[in-house]
Amino acid sequence: MNALFDHWRLEIPGSRIPELSIVIPLYNEYEVIPMMHERLTGVLASLGVSYELLLVDDGSCDGTPGLMSQLAEEDPAVAAVFLSRNFGKEAALTAGIEHAAGSAVIIMDADLQDPPELIPQMFQAWKGGADVVCMRRRSRAGEGWLKRCSAYLFYRVLNAVSDVDIPADTGDFRLLSRKAVEALKKLNERNRYMKGLFAWIGMPTVVIEYDRMPRAAGVTKWDYLGLFNLAFQGVTSFSTAPLRLAMAGGLLTAFFGVIFTAWIVVKTLVLGEAVQGYPSLVSMMAILGGVQLLSIGLLGEYMGKTYYEAKQRPVYLVREVVGRGRRPTHAAG
Ligand code: UDP
Ligand code: MG
């Protein structure tokens, strides 16, 4: 898959490779785009490095694509990648990372929940030798207690069961060096749980803490079902612990089954209490049936994952790229 996208980088003569690429996935973010562009441009201009703003439209159905094209026309630092439909944030991020040309790539949300003002700090950490600069949320303003609690729990559980150490309370907001980006591009699995993939590559990492802002405008694109799906993806993509749990459950049930059977034999032979226990029979069947179906479902989930991997479909499809070739600009700083 990588060879497919390499030409984006090759198109740009060596001397014109920007120092920083800011990758932003957008899905129906019409309201927030002007504000985002203004704040980012301000910060990047004062930093005085060459940069590109790589906006990835994830199949938006509001005015986002139009506004993005307009920005790419007006601002030579902006490049816009349009996906052919809504592929989800993880795919949009993948598209952004694969199209980014910069020596370092910063990934952030469009809604300004990740403050652009932190970019200079991230840039310094990268200059200081870090390949990954991970932003950890000290607080999450503007998010309800249920989301906070579930996020807290999720990161703890994921870490406990997964094979790689996925730092708690970090989102997708981070900086990746070119080395890290190239490493990431080698992971061409279809099920893309980005936080896990980021953690999987390892590399010297610096963690910076920040306060997460409320959304600047618009509404969140996640509902609880979406978040639950993402969480489930995260766990099943990076761990087979659920399978082991199912096995442990089976073992435990079988163990108690044997004890229970022995008890029935004793009751029948020694105490002479034969043929009874309709309620226990029914409840045992219900419990066992439930556990079995759950385990089969779990098995199916992993098999389904393998099925999707086996198809080798691309993670996303690009409809159009606007603003390539006229970048990058050098900030007047
Ligand atoms: N996003 C996307 N595709 C989607 C859903 C979201 O590209 O299918 C983008 C969205 O435009 C935003 C980022 O992912 O830039 C984070 O989304 P959101 O702010 O809705 O999530 P939250 O911050 O509430 O977790
Ligand atoms: Mg957000």
Pocket-forming residues, ligand 1, beta carbon under 6 Å: 25-27, 29, 58, 86, 88-89, 92, 109-111, 113, 220-222
Digit-coded pLDDT (tens) for 244-273: 888 888 888 888 888 888 888 888 888 887
Q: In terms of domains, do 144 and 272 share one?
A: no
Among protein residues, the one whose CA lies closest to atom 19 of ligand 1: 220
Q: In terms of domains, do 220 and 292 share one?
A: no
Is the pLDDT score of 45 beyond 70?
Answer: yes
Which residue, of 238, 253, 272, is where some domain finishes?
238
Q: In terms of domains, do 209 and 304 share one?
A: no
Q: In terms of domains, do 161 and 273 share one?
A: no
State the ipTM, two decimals: 0.95
Banded model confidence at residue 6, pLDDT cuts 50, 70, 90: very low
Alpha helix segments (H runs only) across 75-217 = 89-99, 119-127, 145-161, 178-185, 194-201
Digit-coded pLDDT (tens) for 64-120: 999 999 999 998 889 999 999 999 899 999 999 999 999 999 999 998 888 999 999
The neighbourhood of ligand 2, an ion, using CB within 5 A, equals: 109, 111, 113
Q: In terms of domains, do 217 and 255 share one?
A: no
Return mean pLDDT, the chain.
Answer: 83
List the structure tokens of 143. Answer: 């998010």
Q: In terms of domains, do 116 and 191 share one?
A: yes
Rounded-to-10 torsion of CA 98, 54, 39, 19: 70
Banded model confidence at residue 293, pLDDT cuts 50, 70, 90: confident
Q: In terms of domains, do 155 and 111 share one?
A: yes
109 Cα–ligand 2 center, Å:
6
Please give the residue range of the domain that contains residue 69: 20-238
62: helix, coil or strand? coil
Q: In terms of domains, do 146 and 36 share one?
A: yes
Q: In terms of domains, do 27 and 129 share one?
A: yes
Digit-coded pLDDT (tens) for 111-137: 888 899 999 999 999 999 999 999 988
Query: Ligand 1 atom closest to Cα of 29?
Result: 11
The answer to whether position 1 is within a domain reads no
324 Cα–ligand 1 center, Å:
24
**CATH code, 179:** 3.90.550.10
14 Cα–ligand 1 center, Å:
33
Considering only 26-30, 63-67, 68-72, 306-310, which range has the smallest mean pLDDT? Answer: 306-310
With the most atoms of ligand 1 within 8 angstroms of its CB, the residue from 22, 30, 40, 89 to mutate is 89
Q: Is the peptide bond before 328 cis (omega within 30 degrees of 0)?
A: yes
Q: In terms of domains, do 225 and 268 share one?
A: no
Count: domains in the chain: 2
Q: In terms of domains, do 110 and 166 share one?
A: yes
Q: In terms of domains, do 59 and 148 share one?
A: yes
Residues in Cβ contact with 205 at an 8 Å cutoff, skipping those fewer than 6 apart:
130, 131, 132, 133, 134
Is the pLDDT score of 8 beyond 50?
Answer: no
The answer to whether position 321 is within a domain reads no
